[in-house]
């Protein structure tokens, strides 16, 4: 597996978003299968594992911690705070005292003494970003975390945070069908030496050919709340995905491989973290690290998936209001 820089760390070019094994995509796999998938990822060269206190309301960290404890010194372990489950509900809370308490709980669940990259999952707009990042800086000084990240923030917020403490990574949704970080946020990250961690890099399955014309999502699947996966948008988005799949298969790649290879070609500071609960998909995703798309191929995909070709916002209005876009 090729490597890239993530703040002070060197990690696999493709990481693993661990959410799928316990959160947001319907019925999760059994605990034994989930842990086996995480160990398979390591065996295939993945060294960047991303979880969060929110996922499964703590259960995901427990699974990740148990599965990867034997190889803890060989991986970069990332988790997130500032958005957690409280009394069965998702709550955004960026107060310093909350972030510090969340970190202590995460350390126990992850069975580790330090979290390598600790990311503010959402900026709590009721709390100045300087205060939240200041609390994370305290955790660095206390030796509980090694580096600080932000998720779903604008370039302006990144600069404000970076003035308090160096920000090792920004995490946001980025893929062929979610081009929002271009060009401003990606350029700001490159300027500041901040890695960009791309979550949902295969479009929550649509760029991997995994969405049927009339998808039967399981109860609780996050895509049930997303306008892009419902009519009147879904049919147009599926037709676009079919054109994409036909193009890249003619090149000899699966859709998922091409989607990930495109991200890797967009900049050396970009780190995709595809998630999956299926071993075969994991191997397929990881194989994309060996693919180098030609400039003409990248340009063809840029043209095919220009921002205006995707229909529907990526979140419902209430969730869109929670993020901090450029």
Q: Do residues 64 and 51 make contact, with C-beta atoms less than 8 angstroms apart? A: yes
Pairing of strands 89-92, 83-86: antiparallel
Would you report the helix, strand and coil content of the chain in percent, each value rounded to 5? 45, 15, 35
Give the integer Cα–Cα distance in Å for 138 and 208. 41
Q: Whose CA is closest to 151, among 174, 134, 135?
A: 174
Give the integer Cα–Cα distance in Å for 52 and 270. 20
What residue has token string 């403490």? 165
Q: Number of H helices and number of E strands within the chain?
A: 11, 12
The verdict on whether 55 is a catalytic residue reads: yes
How far lies 279's CA from each of 29, 80, 284, 285, 309, in Å? 11, 25, 9, 10, 32
Q: How far is CA 95 from the centre of its chain?
A: 23
Q: Which of 55, 253, 305, 315 is catalytic?
A: 55
Catalytic residues: 55
């Amino acid at each position: 597996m090729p490597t890239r820089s993530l703040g002070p760390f060197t990690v696999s070019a493709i990481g693993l978003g661990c959410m799928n094994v316990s959160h947001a995509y319907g019925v999760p796999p059994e605990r034994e299968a989930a842990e086996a998938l995480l160990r398979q990822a390591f065996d295939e060269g993945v060294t960047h594992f991303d979880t969060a206190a929110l996922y499964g309301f703590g259960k995901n960290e427990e699974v990740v911690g148990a599965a990867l404890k034997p190889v803890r010194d060989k991986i970069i372990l990332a988790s997130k705070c500032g958005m957690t489950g409280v009394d069965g509900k998702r709550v955004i809370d960026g107060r310093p005292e909350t972030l510090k308490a969340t970190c202590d709980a995460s350390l126990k669940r992850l069975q580790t003494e330090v979290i390598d990259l600790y990311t503010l999952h959402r900026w709590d707009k009721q709390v100045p970003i300087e205060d939240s990042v200041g609390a994370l800086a305290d955790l660095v000084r206390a030796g509980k975390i090694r580096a600080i990240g932000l998720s779903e923030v604008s370039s302006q917020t990144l600069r404000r945070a970076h003035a308090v403490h160096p920000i090792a990574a920004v995490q946001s949704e980025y893929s062929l069908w979610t081009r929002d970080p271009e060009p401003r946020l990606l350029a700001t990250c490159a300027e500041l030496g901040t890695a960009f961690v791309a979550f949902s890099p295969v479009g929550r399955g649509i760029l991997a050919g995994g969405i049927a014309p009339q998808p039967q999502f399981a109860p609780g699947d996050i895509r049930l709340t997303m306008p892009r996966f419902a009519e009147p948008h879904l049919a147009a988005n599926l037709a676009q995905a079919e054109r994409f799949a036909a193009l890249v298969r003619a090149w000899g790649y699966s859709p998922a491989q091409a989607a990930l290879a495109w991200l890797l070609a967009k900049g050396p500071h970009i780190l995709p973290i595809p998630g999956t609960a299926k071993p075969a998909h994991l191997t397929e995703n990881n194989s994309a690290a060996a693919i180098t798309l030609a400039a003409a191929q990248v340009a063809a995909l840029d043209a095919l998936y220009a921002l205006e070709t995707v229909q529907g916002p990526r979140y419902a209005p209430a969730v869109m209001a929670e993020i901090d876009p450029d």
